[in-house]
């Protein structure tokens, strides 16, 4: 059976183009502490020069700078995922990221990898992220003290994006959390937040257990994590399992056999495309990656951190540490949808008083998307109104490989967040026209049940 290969085509759009919004988006923030130094790429005055620059090394430079905060590491040796040698053998350009040596790209450019993922598929190594399980009859009530999701209301085998909050209502981290069973919760946290997340969960776990709570945990260091994303993801993976993936929808979870390996499969991802995150025994990770690439007949390609960042930005998703931080609440970040209805009524999580007040009165700042002219907006670029008054700050910005135009996310004062609002974004001190737009920038393609 041959898989279809689809050349990706994009329509020309204007600043008035506003793709439909999607409730599964996360968000950024509004403070100097969260900035990355993203220098712009070209001083050419040609209206097409910035696009031309981005076709080559410019996009790599833009993405590298967007991720640069996470590149920083101490003198400790970089950790390697089980696929490290596989990446090197396949031409992966390895960079330090959150204490790990990870591929930022392969032979394909970041632009080509981004476009191919949306047209066909991409396979990502995300084994630097931390998977863990909570067990016990009180695992749900315990975790509900730390996150905003209505875990009790989830059906077994389903999950959602959630946020760990602190006592001030700020975001400690975002995470995809799944109720495997009533007494088993599985979640994945960000690599850069691993140590603080585990310390936070562990401290509260011990306190909870001392009060008689029945909950324990296990960190899945024995497993690796792959992300298979794009329109050919399901068709490719179906070759490797007897389970019917057509009945598995966005946000759902299964334990199943894939290519002979015992895997945890979640239909989710970080690209806005249909796809899966696959937790596989570490010793089987390379063999599974090879099998996926082989079954796709070369159409699904190894894809690095660079394209992953471009894809998530196009999808309106935040990168924790860039677009969301401990002083930004889920309400400010546009994640009110992730706060369960019961949780809005009852609270019971850290910072609930602050968050519920914001839900009632409205936040002072809000995360928004922008289309912009001139050089791509850099993180920490100032956002001003027509009169030149500062109204906010960019948290992620860059050139969209799929839309062929500049996109950005940032925080602005409430009241100036509505789509169509005109603004100026300062790059190297010079203002460029921008307009607030709905996110995601590229329509999402999550696999959901028919209505």
Q: Report d(CA 334, CA 28) in Å as an integer.
A: 9
For residue 114, give both structure tokens: 């981004």
Taking a C-beta distance cutoff of 8 angstroms, is the pair 82, 127 a contact?
yes
Taking a C-beta distance cutoff of 8 angstroms, is the pair 341, 435 a contact?
no
Q: Report d(CA 175, CA 294) in Å as an integer.
A: 31
DSSP lists the bridge partners of residue 425 as: 383, 432
Per the annotation, does 277 bind a ligand?
yes
Task: Judge if the upstream peptide bond of residue 222 is cis by omega within 30 degrees of 0.
Answer: no
Q: Report how far apart the first and last C-alpha atoms of the chain are (Å, whole number).
A: 30
Q: Report d(CA 215, CA 220) in Å as an integer.
A: 16
Report CA dihedral (430, 317, 438, 252) to the nearest 10 degrees: 170
Alpha-carbon 355 to chain mean position: 22
Cα→Cα distances 354→11, 86, 176, 412, Å = 43, 47, 23, 19
Per-residue burial over 427-436, b if 16 or more Cβ lie within 10 Å, else e, is beeebbebbb
Rounded to a whole number of angstroms, the CA Rg of the chain reads 21
Cα→Cα distances 131→99, 183, 188, 278, Å = 16, 17, 4, 11
Binding residues for substrate, as ranges, are: 277
- Detail the residues annotated as belonging to a binding site: 277
């Amino acid at each position: 059976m041959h898989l279809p290969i689809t050349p990706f085509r994009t329509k020309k759009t204007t600043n008035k183009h506003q793709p439909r919004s999607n409730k599964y988006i996360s968000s950024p923030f509004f403070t100097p502490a969260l900035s990355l130094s993203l220098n712009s790429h070209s001083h050419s005055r040609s209206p097409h020069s910035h696009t031309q620059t981005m076709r080559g090394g410019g996009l790599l430079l833009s993405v590298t700078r967007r991720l640069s905060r996470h590149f920083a590491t101490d003198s400790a040796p970089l950790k390697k995922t089980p696929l490290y040698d596989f990446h090197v053998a396949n031409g992966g350009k390895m960079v330090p990221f959150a204490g790990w040596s990870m591929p930022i790209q392969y032979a394909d450019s970041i632009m080509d990898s981004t476009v191919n993922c949306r047209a066909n598929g991409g396979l990502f190594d995300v084994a630097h992220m931390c998977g863990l399980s909570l067990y016990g009859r009180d695992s749900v009530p315990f975790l509900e003290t730390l996150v905003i999701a209505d875990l009790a209301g989830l059906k077994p085998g389903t999950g959602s994006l959630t946020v760990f909050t602190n006592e001030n209502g700020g975001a400690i981290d975002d995470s995809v959390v799944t109720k495997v069973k009533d007494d088993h919760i599985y979640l994945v946290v960000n690599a850069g937040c691993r140590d603080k997340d585990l310390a936070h969960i562990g401290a509260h776990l011990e306190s909870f257990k001392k009060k008689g709570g029945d909950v324990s945990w296990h960190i899945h260091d024995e497993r690796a994590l792959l992300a298979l994303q794009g329109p050919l993801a399901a068709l490719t993976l179906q070759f490797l399992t007897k389970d019917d993936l057509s009945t598995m929808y966005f946000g759902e979870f299964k334990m199943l056999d894939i290519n002979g390996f015992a895997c945890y499969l979640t239909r989710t991802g970080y690209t806005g495309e249909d796809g899966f995150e696959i937790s596989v025994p570490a010793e089987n990770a390379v063999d599974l990656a090879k099998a996926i690439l082989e079954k796709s007949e070369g159409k699904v390609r190894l894809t690095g951190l660079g394209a992953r960042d471009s894809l998530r930005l196009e999808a309106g998703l935040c990168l924790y540490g860039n677009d969301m931080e401990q002083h930004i609440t889920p309400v400010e970040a546009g994640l009110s949808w992730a706060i369960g209805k019961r949780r809005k009524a009852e609270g019971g999580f850290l910072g609930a008083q602050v968050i519920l007040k914001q839900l009632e009165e409205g936040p002072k700042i809000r995360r928004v998307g922008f289309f912009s002219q001139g050089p791509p907006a850099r993180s920490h670029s100032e956002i001003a109104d027509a009169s030149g008054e500062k109204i906010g700050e960019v948290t992620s910005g860059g050139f969209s490989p799929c839309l062929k135009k500049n996109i950005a996310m940032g925080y602005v004062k409430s009241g100036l967040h509505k789509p169509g609002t005109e603004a100026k974004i300062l790059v190297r001190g010079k203002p460029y026209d921008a307009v607030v737009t709905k996110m995601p920038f590229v329509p999402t393609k999550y696999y959901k049940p028919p209505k």
